[in-house]
Homo-oligomer: A and B are copies of this chain.
Amino acid sequence: MANTIKSKVYNLLERSSAGNRLAQQIDAVLIVFIVVNVGLAVLETEPSIGDVFSREIFLLDFVVGSVFAVEYLLRLWVSDLHPPLKKYGSLKARLVYALQPLTLIDFLAVMPFWLSLFFAGISWKSLVILRLLRFLKIARYSPAVRSLISAVVEEKKAIIGSLVLIFGVALVAATLLYSIEHAAQPEYFGTIPAALWWAFSTLTTVGYGDVVPVTALGKFVASIVMLMGYCLFALPVGIVGTAFAREIHSREFVVTWGMVATVPLFERLSAVEIAAVTELLHSHSVPAGQYICEKGEDGDSLYLIASGQVEEVFERHRVVHNEGEHFGEASLFGHSKRTASAIARTPAQLMVLKMEDLRRFMDRKPAVAKKIIAEAIDERKAHHVDVEFTP
């Protein structure tokens, strides 16, 4: 009986919430809680609100803190049901689970409040920044935040390069204006760090106007700096904007560790390895009746079904795949064309593993890749695919 409850809780919290109304409602309630809670932490600093309603705010803080604590403990409790954690003892399984990034965020969102309750010396009210940590939980539900992180990680070299460039230009601008305006406005341009404040507010086109050059030469140089800021603006737009626009459509729902952990293909992977694979997967929602891939196309992805049903149409027969199953893995070996079309029979959520990403991943972690491929071969021995990987 306890086990039935446990597995129900597991399904509610850790499986994809698509197609499960109760799970979706729980998600919605948790998001409302986060928003209300963060809103109150902000408003409390306003004396006219904070002083009058301090009791009510504390009460709500207590309720939200309790809900999050219960959610956290429930997740820990059921964590040994995740397939890859089953092999461990129940304590180790929980420890491994507790160290997943999203679980750590849950922990950070919940702990400060309880610490402040138990240790009299800490004033919860003054720990505003810690209370904002709860806002981080919203990342759990936001594909856009995931996409931005992905875009930033993928373009990190370009972004660092641009920042070096912007910083270099700011440095030169500040030094020039320090030399020029030094004598005229010692209170604003007396040192280079002070001039850097002007340079940043000008280059980013914010332009507060609290510090402004007054000499003719200073204004001339400042005009050039403004034009450069205007042009350098193109760099983040070109890099982040393009990468984000590309990523945003490849993450239509958030792929969680729990969803990946239930896929048989990744059965042999350790918990940490699954976390790494989670980062690789893109996600797509498809309506019923839509073609996912067509026969004869270049196969460049493996598809995992997070929810829904997909039908593969071969020349002579059809195969139906359900939640947790995968298809299209032939594309991961050699450069084969698709041998079947795949159509969504119901609205479906797919996790997509691109061959290109897998190759890059294999290069970094050959051990993990070997396990995935071995599992894929085992599962479909019947499939006549010439595995010709050169690792």
Question: Could you list which residues of chain A lie within 8 angstroms of chain B, going by C-beta atoms?
Answer: 38, 41-43, 45-47, 128-129, 132, 135, 138, 142-145, 147-148, 155, 157-166, 168, 171-172, 174-176, 178-179, 190-194, 196-197, 200-202, 204-210, 212, 216, 219, 223, 226-227, 229-231, 233-242, 244-245, 248-249, 252, 287-290, 343, 345, 347, 359-360, 362-364, 389-391
Contacts and interface: CB of A to CB of B under 8 A. Distances in A.
13 contacts: A41-B192, A42-B174, A138-B168, A144-B162, A148-B161, A158-B248, A200-B226, A207-B208, A230-B233, A233-B233, A234-B241, A235-B241, A238-B248
Contacts of A359: 287, 289-290
A342 to B, nearest CB: 12
Nearest to A362: B289
A132 B175 CA distance: 9
A197 B171 CA distance: 22
Nearest to A166: B227
Contacts of A46: 191-194
A138 B167 CA distance: 12
Contacts of A160: 144
Of A178, A196, A241, A363, most B-chain CB atoms within 10 Å: A241
A252 B157 contact: yes
Contacts of A249: 158
Contacts of A192: 41-43, 45-46, 128
A172 to B, nearest CB: 6
Given A165-B148, A193-B45, A206 B226 contact: yes
Contacts of A197: 219, 223
5 cross-chain pairs, A with B, having the tightest CB-CB distances, nearest first: A144-B161, A238-B241, A287-B363, A206-B207, A234-B241
B227 A391 contact: no
Given A164-B142, A193-B43, A233-B230, A129 B176 contact: yes
A192 B42 CA distance: 6
Q: How many copies does the complex hold?
A: 4
A41 B171 CA distance: 11
B248 A240 contact: no
A191 to B, nearest CB: 4
Q: Residue among A144, A178, A216 with the most chain B CB within 10 A?
A: A144
Contacts of A230: 166, 204-205, 233, 236
A332 B136 CA distance: 45
B164 A138 contact: yes
Contacts of A179: 128-129
A343 to B, nearest CB: 6
A157 B128 contact: no
Given A205-B230, A289-B389, 4 more contacts: A42-B193, A129-B176, A161-B248, A289-B391
A284 to B, nearest CB: 13
B238 A240 contact: yes
A188 to B, nearest CB: 12
A157 B144 contact: yes
Contact of A390 (B129, B138, B289): B289
Contacts of A196: 42, 223
A308 to B, nearest CB: 12
Nearest to A47: B191
A244 B240 contact: no
Contacts of A391: 288-289
Instruction: Among A162, A196, A237, A362, find the residue whose CB has the most chain B CB atoms closer than 10 A.
Output: A237
